[in-house]
Amino acid sequence: MIKQRICIVGDGLSGLMTAVVLSKVSGIDVNLIAKKGIKNADKRTTAISDTNYKFINQNITSLGQKLFWPSKKIELFYETSKENLNFLNLSEINSNLMYVFENDKIKSVLLKEISKNKIKLIRKDLKNLDELKNYDLIILCLGGQSKIYNKISKKRSIKKDYKEIAITGYVKHNFKTLNTSQFFLKEGPLAILPFSKNCFSFVWSVKKYYFKNNSKKISTLVKNKIVEILKNKQDISISNIQSYPVSLSLRRQYHQKNILILGEGLHTIHPVAGQGYNLVLRDIKKLKEIIMYYAGLGISLKNSYALKDFYNSRKPENMIMSLGIDATHIFFKRNKYLDPLKEIIVKNIKNNDTLKKFSKIISNRGLSL
């Protein structure tokens, strides 16, 4: 059987993961193209569901459990004029709700896996897609801002500028216990994501003007806010502070001929629910299943309906989940006329067991029930 050739462009987390996963498919040769030069380490963390954690472990044999920090409990808080109201607690006894990992450590493992699986890594600055015409399938994982996408996706995308800046960083601490938490604060949502016994990362989305007005004292501002919401007077140290603009971007067109957009280029969503990379992993999982099917039948990927099948199977969930997260963010945005009503609603959520169960299922599996 003649092997089919797949080219993946981009060595970010999505590109590396796609390359490793698809290299497991029989009858497929995978090449990975990345820009020349050494990139700065990605000092961020990523949260994934239990189902996606199992998917990664099935495809990457060299991953160690110590790279993933499990959470059996997630707490949600809503800031009122009197308190941070704990309105929803999600917990599991026999399994984990989610895992958090450090991006740079997982990338190092993926690069080793690429070498072990004999995936050809080509360092070059790609200027024209015509350079890739000899491949049966081309997958673009170039982040959310690449202009190359405009040559593939002609339909108008769904876009929204939240006019917010996400501030991220690491916090070292000596707290005895710390759960994964989401605080809906008046300045904007702030997530606490433990990734080791004495370290957690944070993601705090604030208005651009708020960030600009406090840009010279961000570290102090973040430190004071974290100490305030965690109600712990122990000293903490903050490092690796980064910031990036927050937006919504959903492609209406996923592919053209044998070229597919994947990763943040396909969907960029608000970080409030921590579902961004979970959607990417579900995309990769479905793509692998489809490629296995066509390759198993001996059908050329270049002239098949593989990418159309991928589009039809993944677009509904990507669209519904992304717009649902957007609606959640809108609901928790401050509005002096609606805030009293929101407080009543969140208080009633606390005792709703059906909502808790539904939230856990959707967070874990998405809409692929």
The structural domains of the chain, ordered by start, are 4-365 (3.50.50.60)
**How confident is the model at residue 233, as a pLDDT?**
76
How far apart CA 292 and CA 353 sit, in angstroms, is 39
How does DSSP assign 206-244, residue by residue? Answer: EEHHHHHHTGGGHHHHHHHHHHHHHT--S--EEEEEEEE
How far apart CA 198 and CA 176 sit, in angstroms, is 9
How far apart CA 346 and CA 45 sit, in angstroms, is 28
pLDDT (tens digit, 9 = 90+) per residue, 40-76? 678 899 999 999 999 999 998 777 778 999 999 999 9
How far apart CA 190 and CA 213 sit, in angstroms, is 18
Q: Tokens 């699986």 sit at which residue? A: 117
Contacts of 150 (CB under 8 A, 6+ apart): none
**How far is the CA of 353 from the CAs of 94, 198, 203, 356, in angstroms?**
18, 32, 28, 5
Q: Which residue ranges of the chain lie beneath pLDDT 70?
A: 1, 38-40, 369
H or E stretch covering 313: helix 306-332
**How confident is the model at residue 356, as a pLDDT?**
86
CB contact at 8 A, 117 and 26: no
How far apart CA 123 and CA 272 sit, in angstroms, is 35
**How confident is the model at residue 288, as a pLDDT?**
98
**How confident is the model at residue 369, as a pLDDT?**
53
Two tokens, residue 175: 């707290």
β-partners of residue 88 are 76
Greatest CA span in the chain, whole angstroms?
A: 69
Q: Tokens 């710390």 sit at which residue? A: 178
Q: DSSP label at 120?
A: E
